[in-house]
Homo-oligomer: A and B are copies of this chain.
Amino acid sequence: MTRQMKLGAFLWATGHHIAAWRHPKAHVTAGIDIDHYIRLARTAEAAKFDMVFCEDAAGLREANVGIASQTSRSIGFEPISLLSALAVRTSRIGLVSTASTSYNEPYGLARTFLSLDQLSGGRAGWNLVTSASPIEAANFGATGLKPHADRYERAREFAEVVTGLWQGGSFHGHDGQSFSVRDPLDLPRSPQGAPVMVQAGASDVGRDLAARTADVVFTAAQTFEEAKAFYHDLKGRMAAYGREPDDIKIMPGVAPVVAATEAEAQEKHEELQELIPDDVGVALLSSYLSISDLWRYPIDGPMPELPETEGMKSRQALVVEQSRRDGLSIRQLARHFAGARGHWRIVGTPAQVADELQARFEGGGADGFNIMPSYFPGELDAFCDLVVPELQRRGLFRREYHGSTLREHLGLKQPA
């Protein structure tokens, strides 16, 4: 069979675009409307998506409460409870949630995800994050963010304990640097062997952790070159851990804006971009970069040099490179960046969007994509109605599910 792409749908309250909540068609209280999420998950399932995916942070999303109230996800369900509810209102689609290795214990987290996996008949996945935001740290009694390397060392051990616990009866305890766990879980092994392990860290140490333990990697790649370089690099690291390249599915984020004609798509896009206030754009860019004084620089001047922080190393590199490449002012960069939150944006007709996805998929830049609709439900509907059939016609995406578990959808081996 021809290789087919994997598709995830990013669920994010009113929509992924930073100004989605200001869109005239937006559902402003979507973040706590379970019927809204059920509808989105069922739409993605009807389109045969591999999974829905929830990002997460245990805290307000932005340091500045005023700014937080002006973004499209200032409130919303805790994602594991959300996905547990979706588990019994869907039947085939995978359910992936983010959870932090810094503010959880491996026993509790392994148990909750395995419970979700059992609830859903083998459709759960865990997106491992180490939590780079000092905003979250302040809600967990930490006096500051732990150094990047320490967070990743804890994450590595955390993942080892969790995957051990997921192996069931063959778990014989763990006594390590950060964690000590004695008993197996009080749950049998997953119908898919173990929940799917997702990662998104793009730093050097993050890539190594992914090469060692991940089944799926989410990533942000604006250009084809970045996407290919990342793909090549990550797959190349896997042999060192005795794994084959196909054991990880690399799924970059894509923020598509699609309409029947290119002009219509452009118009939809502009309509959203114009809704981004400058202060929100700059504040968001500052928050993404973990720097607090970006507002001090002239908004129409160039980006300043960034000091090295313990936050998002890979994200900072991405932004600085982009500002140099395109010669963008802070205002331009903020607006460009804020809209799609740093992800690849494709604006066009169904055929144009499919062309772009196909090129990256076939050109060694991706095994699939994490679709980030600008606003819900409109842009998810548009992608499912317009782009998915086009991908299916080209033989690039399934017309029916062939398995019942997330691992089966993704074509992943069951863990031994």
Contact = CB atoms under 8 A, between A and B. Distances in A.
Given A32-B188, A140-B107, A115 B77 contact: yes
A392 interface: no
Interface stretch (A44-52, A179-187, A285-293, A336-344): A179-187
Interface string A79-99: 011101101110000000000
What is the total number of copies of this protein in its complex?
2
Given A88-B88, A89-B88, A107-B58, A82 B183 contact: no
Contacts of A61: 186
Contacts of A32: 118, 187-188
Nearest to A118: B32
B186 A81 contact: no
A81 B188 contact: no
Contact of A88 (B85, B105, B112, B139): B85
A179 B78 CA distance: 21
A138 interface: yes
Contacts of A84: 80-82, 84-85
A76 interface: yes
A74 B141 CA distance: 35
A75 B187 contact: yes
Interface in A131-152: 135, 138-141
B112 A103 contact: no
Given A76-B186, A105-B140, A85 B87 contact: yes
A96 to B, nearest CB: 14
Contacts of A58: 107-108, 111
A85 B119 contact: yes
Nearest to A65: B183
A408 B81 CA distance: 23
Contacts of A186: 59-61, 74-76
B183 A115 contact: no
Contact of A103 (B87, B105, B140): B105
B184 A60 contact: yes
**Best-buried of A59, A81, A82, A180 by chain B (most CB within 10 Å):** A81
Contacts of A135: 182-183
A87 B88 CA distance: 10
Contact of A81 (B80, B179, B181, B184): B80
A108 B104 contact: yes
A258 interface: no
A317 interface: no
**Best-buried of A87, A114, A118 by chain B (most CB within 10 Å):** A118
Nearest to A173: B138
A34 interface: yes
Nearest to A87: B85
A38 interface: yes
7 contacts: A59-B107, A77-B118, A78-B187, A82-B119, A84-B84, A84-B85, A85-B119
- A-B CB proximity, top 5 nearest: A84-B84, A78-B115, A138-B182, A81-B84, A107-B139
